[in-house]
């Protein structure tokens, strides 16, 4: 069954999404904690990707390799201070 993959940049963002997930189980894939569950009846996978393009790309590719993915949602915003 295809899953919606949600990748959060920061732990705070991930926890807010985790709070609305139902029927959650946790797996560790490589060094990533992956939460499998449902949001509004849809099968979802949630993971903390980390900040930056490289971390997001790495996490996304790992989850694409491990799951049959319907689509990917990348959650997070950043502000760079100088």
The domain spans of the chain are 3-75
pLDDT at 32: 93
The secondary structure element, H or E, covering residue 25 is strand 22-29
Give residue-wise pLDDT tens across range 22-41.
999 999 999 999 999 999 99
Phi-psi sector, 64: left (phi>0), alpha (psi -120 to 50), beta = alpha
32-41 long-range contacts, Cβ below 8 Å, gap at least 24? Answer: 32/59, 32/62, 32/63, 34/63, 34/66, 36/3, 39/4
User: Please, which pLDDT band fits residue 64 given cuts at 50, 70 and 90?
Assistant: very high
Q: What is the mean pLDDT of residues 32-55?
A: 93
**pLDDT band per the 50, 70, 90 thresholds, residue 50:** confident
**Residue range 43-60: mean pLDDT, rounded:** 91
For the domain covering 3-75, report its CATH number. Answer: 3.40.50.140
Is residue 39 within 8 A of residue 21, CB to CB? The reply is: yes
């Amino acid at each position: 069954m295809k899953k919606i993959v949600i990748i959060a940049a920061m732990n705070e963002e991930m926890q807010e999404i985790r709070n609305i997930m139902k029927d959650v189980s946790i797996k560790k894939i490589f060094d990533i904690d992956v939460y499998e569950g449902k949001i509004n009846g849809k099968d979802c996978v949630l993971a903390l990707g980390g900040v930056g393009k490289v971390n997001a790309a790495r996490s996304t590719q790992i989850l694409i390799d491990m799951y049959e993915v319907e689509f990917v949602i990348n959650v997070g915003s950043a502000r760079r201070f100088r």
